[in-house]
Chain A
Amino acid sequence: MTAQYLLRRLIQVLPVAAGIVLILFVLVHTAPGDPVLALAGEHGDAAYYAFMRHRFGLDRPLPEQLAVYVGRVVRGDLGLSYVHGRPVARVIAERVPATLLLTGTALALSSLAGVALGVWAACRRDRSVDLTVRAGALVAHALPPFWLAQVAAITLALGTGLFPVQGLTDARQALTGWRYLVDVVHHLALPVLVLAAGELALMTRLTRTGLLEALRMDYAQTARAKGLSERRVVYHALRNALLPLVTVVGGRAGMMCTGAVLVETVFAWPGVGQLMLSSIQTRDIPVLLGIFLLVSVTVVVVNLVTDLTYAWLDPLVRYE
């Protein structure tokens, strides 16, 4: 990977980021009512509105307003949450670790298990294992994440009592050290399993398809002809079959965030998703704008990292 490719790919991010900020600006200004309401909330007094008007340049001509807004956003100033009485960026930042823990664990789990299941199904093509895995993947892909979460909460948490129903830790006792860690993992288990299920279905299907295709390639036939064991042939083919998966995983960042919001809502997981739900209920629009921006930036960054990883892994990618 050349430095030139890296630089060009980084520069391509700029118009995308600008476009997203522009969408936000246009939405805030076309929404019914004074745009200051979208940035300062509905329950401020005249002095506060005047302060926010000045802060976001709403008392100046439109082009200048855009410049001020972009300047503010670039510096991470997304306005103040009137519900929390603090800057939006800080309110959201506090919730990011819990969401990262949830999505990161679910992503790792679904990738590993999905590849394993996909290989298993491909190696036993059209046998009962393959048919079961395929049917399971098809169904799992169709389930609404919030419903799977509700069913898991009803059966596995409320029904068996094996898992806690809600939260990140047990509120009834203050645990420390490794007991705290065990408590968090115990609370994490169900949300992660639910969030991973949909991704797992996708990864399984793609791994199976990719591997079957790779096994039909000439090099796989050559390897077989040379007398390599089927296990070695699969190993060779898998390396090539997994390459497109990098792109797919990267392209799922937005869906993963959507799933996280829904799962967090059901399990009262104290992450960005739960913050979004409470902000919808209290009409805390500055926070909602901030979350949209955060998710957009996340998607852009993940796509960038995905492309660079792909270019690094695949020597055939041209750097133009």
Chain B
Amino acid sequence: MPGSIPSFATSDAPAVVRDDRTTRWSGLARAARTGAGAVGLALTLTLVAVALLADVISPTDPFATVGRPLSAPTRAHVFGTDDLGRDVLSGIVHGARTSLIVTAGVTLLAALIGVAVGTAAGYKPGAVDDLLMRGTDFVLVVPRFFMAVVVIALFGPGLDRLILVLGLTSWPAIARVVRAQTLSLAHQAFVDAAHALGASGVRIALRHVLPHTLPAALVIISINAAGVILLEAALGFLGLGDPRLISWGYLASNAQRFIRIAWWMALFPGLAIALAVLGLNLLGDAVNDLLEPRARGAAGA
């Protein structure tokens, strides 16, 4: 008998959020279908591919002297050579690997902490939320670039400490976004339904709430990753990179010494950084536009 179903159960069902696992990740595919999203995805995949296949793609060993020092771009060395006759293109290809290792490590660490803190804070209002958000606000204030400078100056250069210090200071933005999402989900009908079925709080948080926060988290994570590429390059530029590895920042810092005579040493590594950052930002924007159609083409920073 149709009249026995209370009207609020049908008419007030949330239209925005469905606990539908098949549509959860199709957002990324749809994002790629917009022009900017496709460019972003292509640039990001290129970065990953170049980094993974660096040894195959790279024309020469990035540390080997293969030509005349400081020669402008030629057919043999399309991006020119540096002061020691090393191929700049090979440096950029291998620099992509260093950049990706640091960015992936930092992003993974920051995403783990950010999602955990955000979910816990959003799901447990009161003392837990207060404490976690105070901590988040504190880490947000710590200037991570300067902190990394101090850590590397004290502990010496190395990718491990670089990833650790940037990862431990890069999560607050992620935590805030995940918390806001969790808060808005905590009283949706499907969460109440899971409660009514006797699911434990932890199970609801992990299995029902967390998956729905991930698309929004992905936006801030990709924009965060773009920032990490810039930070890694900036630290390398100041001479704080691992001296055993070629990095984009190192190439730019070396270029600074020859800026009056070798424009190609400065131009190409920076271009690679800009394209990698642009790719991640475009990807984040495209996913954001899908989540918030109202602000289409005007994604937040």
Contact = CB atoms under 8 A, between A and B. Distances in A.
Do chains A and B stick together as partners?
yes
A205 B266 CA distance: 28
A266 B150 contact: no
Interface string A257-287: 1100110011000000000110011010100
Interface in A1-54: 15-16, 19-20, 23-24, 27-28, 31-32, 38
B154 A31 contact: yes
Interface stretch (A103-111, A178-186, A289-297): A289-297
Interface stretch (A82-90, A92-100, A149-157): A149-157
Given A144-B252, A292-B143, A299-B141, A258 B234 contact: yes
Interface residues of A, number: 59
A305 B145 CA distance: 22
Nearest to B237: A146
B273 A147 contact: yes
B238 A213 contact: no
Contacts of A288: 149-150, 153
Interface stretch (B59-67, B100-108, B275-283): B275-283
Interface stretch (A57-65, A135-143, A189-197, A230-238): A135-143
Interface in A110-157: 126, 134, 138-139, 141-148, 150-151, 153-154
B274 A147 contact: yes
A193 B146 CA distance: 23
Q: Size range of the interface on B?
A: 35 or more
A280 B149 contact: yes
Nearest to A158: B260
Main secondary structure of the interface of A (DSSP, over half): helix
A248 interface: yes
Contacts of A81: none
A86 B138 CA distance: 32
Given A151-B270, A296-B143, A205 B298 contact: yes
Contact of B300 (A15, A144, A209): A209
A291 B146 contact: yes
B209 interface: no
A196 to B, nearest CB: 16
27 contacts: A27-B150, A144-B234, A144-B237, A144-B252, A146-B270, A147-B271, A148-B270, A151-B267, A205-B299, A209-B298, A209-B300, A254-B144, A254-B146, A258-B231, A262-B234, A265-B256, A276-B238, A277-B238, A280-B153, A280-B240, A283-B153, A289-B150, A291-B146, A292-B146, A292-B147, A296-B141, A299-B143
Given A19-B138, A126-B297, 8 more contacts: A139-B274, A141-B301, A143-B270, A144-B230, A258-B145, A261-B145, A261-B238, A289-B150
3 closest A-B pairs by beta carbon, nearest first, are A147-B270, A31-B154, A142-B278
Interface of A: 15-16, 19-20, 23-24, 27-28, 31-32, 38, 126, 134, 138-139, 141-148, 150-151, 153-154, 158, 165, 202, 205-206, 208-209, 212-213, 248, 254, 257-258, 261-262, 265-266, 276-277, 280-281, 283, 285, 288-289, 291-292, 295-296, 299-300, 303
